[in-house]
Amino acid sequence: MSELPDPVPRAFLGVEQSASGQRWVARLDQAGENRALAISQSHGLPELIARVLAGRGVGFDEAVDFLDPTLRRLMPDPGELVDCETAAARIADAIGRGEPVAIFGDYDVDGAASSALLYRFLAHFGVQASIYIPDRIFEGYGPNPQAIGQLADNGARLIVTVDCGSTSHESLAVARQRGVDVVVIDHHQVGETLPDCHALVNPNREDDLSGQGHLCAAGVVFLVLVALHRLLRARGDGRTGTIDLLSMLDLVALATVCDVVPLKGLNRAYVVKGLVAARHLGNCGLAALLKQAGIGGPVTPYHLGFLVGPRINAGGRIGDAALGSRLLTLDDAAEAEEIAARLDGLNRERQAMEVAMLAEAEAEAAAEYGSGEAAAVIVTARQGWHPGVVGLLAARLKEKFRRPAFAIAFDPSGRGTGSGRSIAGFDLGRMVRAAVDEGILVKGGGHAMAAGLTVTRENLGRLRAFFEERAARGVRALTAEHRLKIDGALAASGATLELIDRVEQAGPYGSGHPQPVFALAAHRLVDVRPIGVNHLKLTLAGPDGGRIAAVAFRALDTPLGDFLMARRGDLLHVAGALSADHWQGSRRVQFRVIDAAPAF
């Protein structure tokens, strides 16, 4: 007897097509509903929190531990990572012999945090390492032969690459020729052939069975430091007793959030414990950036990802690539505030640049793909774009078209530097590596959600065709129906600070662990007005008279924004996320609107 096909889930609150063109469905199927009920009844958790846990794959027996992720329970023995012990031994030898060490990092947040993390550890043990961050435009991603030669000329006997190096065969061969050992600590996808180096610690290498491939580079660096600390203690180095590794988790949390790696397993513990460290403001550089961003309340993943991260990235995108890593190594508050101010200025400059480039990218995408519905991958390209901003364009295009997207900046010689962003469920890094293997790209790599590439103009058409063919089946299956998954319904009067605290306890939320989406059913739109650059501020009233303040970010002049502006006074179903807004020392409930529909 053949199995019956799964029934199409009923539309949540009857919303077949929302203002943003989505069909609302319940996140939980019947099995999930049963699991949520069991979690709620057996563990004494509110039904809504049980639904959030069940909707993220948390089992009945895991629920209590899940709400309190600990490093002790989630951290593996670092020795499970291939080459971790070898890497730790080589760095320990450098510490013992007082060898000059150079750290070669990437120009993004993960690279800056990883570099600063290793630098701070080495400094505690008397090693004043140098940090080298390549220029995004003139040097590109990862080690290059000239930079390796320069580090060797400057006396480095050990080079540690962080967040890069796994595919840098030519550059690491130069180091070998110069008699310099290289330890690679990375997380990007690796080919079958590994570069010639002393040790390569990367949970995504094919022979690594640790199961930690979801970590960002800073998360891998931290595991190496744990192994290194253990080894130094075994060798009798008394300084191991005076270093607090847990206090450095603020940098790991920053990198984990900003690199958009899945917030599962060890990554959850990194972020939860790292936020505790960040709130102590022990890192002068991070504290200066938080101050510059005007963050008044406790540090959250949102602050790290959307306020701090872009300021660090601004240096690598359009300014001095080394500013971010230098800032995070500082213990001088005055110098930290000076660099934080420079990064803030660069970030404002980057924002203005992004607005102009995005308009061009969206116009090109519309001309090339129309609504984008028929395309599996959006690829835009133009000469004159700033290569440091293409990743942001790709992210915006991905959001607009709901499919993987690339933006490529060509220079006058016809060489293009591009960046891509993916949708959940589609491995972008693997596709880019396949294009490299086919000879379509000069170079490229990345991970599931983000990738970078270099391509010549004559291969652009071939690249578009290859991406389309490679991604067609997978992407179309993921985008066949625009669905918004709803975790549950609540009323304005039930959206309390206590509920928000319980929801946040089931976090942190991000890639692989999505922010809960709740629906305010049949609430009246009392008021709506534009605020800021392109946001909307709303007041919603529930059937029982309760009211809630809401905001729809970047909604002005979008289908959602147009719908809301035309519906003042109407009854609406409104979907969004709960958050606590900190203002002038007070804390109040705020609802972040992501979609809406008429309540017929």
Clarify whether residues 438 and 510 are in a common domain: no
pLDDT band at 136 (very low <50, low <70, confident <90, very high): confident
Task: Tell me which H or E stretch contains 363.
Answer: helix 333-369
Owning domain of residue 547: 12-25+487-598
Q: What is the mean pLDDT of residues 172-200?
A: 95
Clarify whether residues 543 and 454 are in a common domain: no
Last residue of a domain, one of 330, 345, 360: 345
CA distance 263 to 252: 12
The model's pLDDT over 213-247, given as tens digits with 9 standing for 90+, comes to: 999 999 999 999 999 999 999 999 999 999 999 99
Clarify whether residues 456 and 573 are in a common domain: no
In the prediction, which pLDDT does 3 show?
40
Where b means 16+ CB within 10 Å and e means fewer, 124-150 reads: bbebebebbbbebbebbbbbbeebbbe
CATH number at residue 572: 2.40.50.460
The model's pLDDT over 331-343, given as tens digits with 9 standing for 90+, comes to: 999 999 999 999 9
- Percent residues over pLDDT 70 in the chain: 98
Clarify whether residues 519 and 390 are in a common domain: no
In the prediction, which pLDDT does 24 show?
96
pLDDT band at 5 (very low <50, low <70, confident <90, very high): very low
In the prediction, which pLDDT does 7 show?
57
Give the residue with greater pLDDT, 230 vs 63: 230
Clarify whether residues 103 and 129 are in a common domain: yes
Clarify whether residues 511 and 582 are in a common domain: yes
In the prediction, which pLDDT does 434 show?
94
Last residue of a domain, one of 430, 453, 478: 478
Clarify whether residues 515 and 470 are in a common domain: no
pLDDT band at 372 (very low <50, low <70, confident <90, very high): low
Clarify whether residues 491 and 584 are in a common domain: yes
Q: Is the N-terminal amide bond of 508 cis, ω within 30° of 0?
A: yes
Clarify whether residues 157 and 281 are in a common domain: yes
Q: What is the mean pLDDT of residues 24-46?
A: 94
Take residue 314 and report the two structure tokens written for it: 């601004």
Question: Mapped to the 3 state alphabet, what secondary structure does 533-595 carry?
Answer: CCEEEEEEECCCCCEEEEEECCCCCCHHHHHHHCCCCCEEEEEEEEEEEEECCEEEEEEEEEE
Give the residue with greater pLDDT, 140 vs 134: 134
Answer whether residue 9 shows pLDDT above 90: no
Give domain status of residue 161, yes or no. Answer: yes
Clarify whether residues 165 and 221 are in a common domain: yes
CATH number at residue 312: 3.90.1640.30
In the prediction, which pLDDT does 8 show?
64
Answer whether residue 424 shows pLDDT above 80: yes
Helix axes 460-478, 428-437, angle to 10 degrees: 150
Q: What is the mean pLDDT of residues 190-201?
A: 93
Clarify whether residues 295 and 387 are in a common domain: no
Give domain status of residue 107, yes or no. Answer: yes
- The DSSP annotation for 248-302 comes to GHHHHHHHHHHTT----THHHHHHHHHHHHHHTT-SHHHHHHHHHTT--S---HH
In the prediction, which pLDDT does 6 show?
47
Q: What is the mean pLDDT of residues 293-308?
A: 89
Clarify whether residues 430 and 565 are in a common domain: no
In the prediction, which pLDDT does 581 show?
82
Mean pLDDT estimate for the chain? 93
The model's pLDDT over 90-102, given as tens digits with 9 standing for 90+, comes to: 999 999 999 999 9
The model's pLDDT over 433-469, given as tens digits with 9 standing for 90+, comes to: 999 999 999 999 888 889 999 999 999 999 999 999 9
Give domain status of residue 58, yes or no. Answer: no
Predicted model pTM: 0.86
The model's pLDDT over 472-492, given as tens digits with 9 standing for 90+, comes to: 988 988 887 688 999 999 999
Q: What is the mean pLDDT of residues 559-569?
A: 96
Q: Please answer whether residues 320 and 352 qualify as being in contact, where contact means their C-beta atoms are separated by less than 8 angstroms.
A: no
CA distance 273 to 394: 31
- Percent residues over pLDDT 90 in the chain: 81
Last residue of a domain, one of 478, 495, 524: 478
The model's pLDDT over 545-557, given as tens digits with 9 standing for 90+, comes to: 899 999 999 899 8
Q: Please answer whether residues 380 and 361 qualify as being in contact, where contact means their C-beta atoms are separated by less than 8 angstroms.
A: yes
CATH number at residue 439: 3.10.310.30
